[in-house]
Amino acid sequence: MPHIIELLGKTRVVVKDGKVIEVGQPEVDWCPLFAKIRGIQKITPEEVRKNMEFRINDFGMFTDKRRLELEDFVGFGASEVMMTGLSRGLLDTTVTACEGAGTVISNNPILVQGMGGRMSGLVETEPIDGIINGIQERGGIVLDPSTAKMDPVAGVKKAAELGYKKIAVTVAFAETAKELRELESELGLDLIIIGVHTTGLNEGEARILVENADITTSCASKSVRDIAKPLAQVGTAVPLFALTQKGKELVVERAKDIKSPLLINTMPLPVLPENKQPRELK
């Protein structure tokens, strides 16, 4: 089974044996994040291929040589926020995804950032021994090493069985967020649900996600931008929204780790300058 990931304009990419074997068509024409960081002014299949090959060569994505300790990629990404939450004791553990391992439970902030800092929308993966071993050596728990399945609900259940209560979990599907909120009540947990990879959500899906998440990335989703009523917002081009008080507290805590100067102000949210938004929003 090959690995499937969606990245850079939600382009479907298939990787097998450390090689890119298929690249689909982008759904987004321009992303301000990648324009700024990588200088990509137009997203094309060739640019996507080059970016995926760069990730494979740079830090070993989808290979046994995967580096699991990486620098911060952005100031306020999902993994960066979780890393700070773990470091400050605001979270007991996290449930996230890593290629070659699937769903992973980890309370190691460096590992959480290493797995997720450069991760895009992982769709499907298979076990990679080097990655699984690296995660386990750093104290991470792979939900199913034999299949590398991705199942955040089962991951939270496993984390609860291990005695964790304050759990951050990333979700890419609105119904998963809703199911997790129900599980939180059932098991007496304190979840921080973080929406990721939201490009392409329709209005109904975006509404369910916003109603159940504490934090969400906006990616290139016009629906999320239209529906979200954030208590805090970070960034204006590809903003991250804190939707609940506990989500806001975690984002504000993350701000303490940012080395560059910060502007803190009060105003109606969201703030979305038209010229900064990704093109061809879905």
- CA-to-CA distance for 49 and 221, rounded, in angstroms? 23
When pLDDT is averaged across residues 47-56 and rounded to a whole number, the result is 96
When pLDDT is averaged across residues 250-269 and rounded to a whole number, the result is 93
Question: DSSP 3-state assignment of 102?
Answer: strand
Burial, 43: exposed, middle or buried (Cβ in 10 Å; 0-12, 13-18, 19+)? buried
- CA-to-CA distance for 133 and 156, rounded, in angstroms? 21
**213-224 pLDDT per residue, tens:** 999 999 999 999
Residue 62, pLDDT score: 97
Higher pLDDT, 182 or 281: 182
Residue 275, pLDDT score: 87
**Residue 195 corresponds to which tokens in the numbers above?**
């929406």
95 backbone dihedrals φ, ψ, rounded to 5°: -125, 110
Residue 281, pLDDT score: 52
CB 13 within 8 A of CB 20: yes
**Residue 240 corresponds to which tokens in the numbers above?**
């991250």
Residue 280, pLDDT score: 61
**74-98 pLDDT per residue, tens:** 789 999 999 999 999 999 999 999 9
The string of DSSP codes covering 141-191 is EES-TTT----HHHHHHHHHHTT--EEEEEESSHHHHHHHHHHHHHHT-EE
**107-128 pLDDT per residue, tens:** 999 999 999 998 989 999 999 9
- CA-to-CA distance for 112 and 108, rounded, in angstroms? 6
When pLDDT is averaged across residues 34-50 and rounded to a whole number, the result is 91
For helices 152-161 and 174-187, give the axis angle rounded to 10 degrees: 20
Q: CA dist 261 to 46, 256, 266, Å?
A: 36, 10, 17
pLDDT surpasses 80 at 171: yes
**Residue 264 corresponds to which tokens in the numbers above?**
């803190």
When pLDDT is averaged across residues 43-49 and rounded to a whole number, the result is 95
pLDDT surpasses 90 at 151: yes
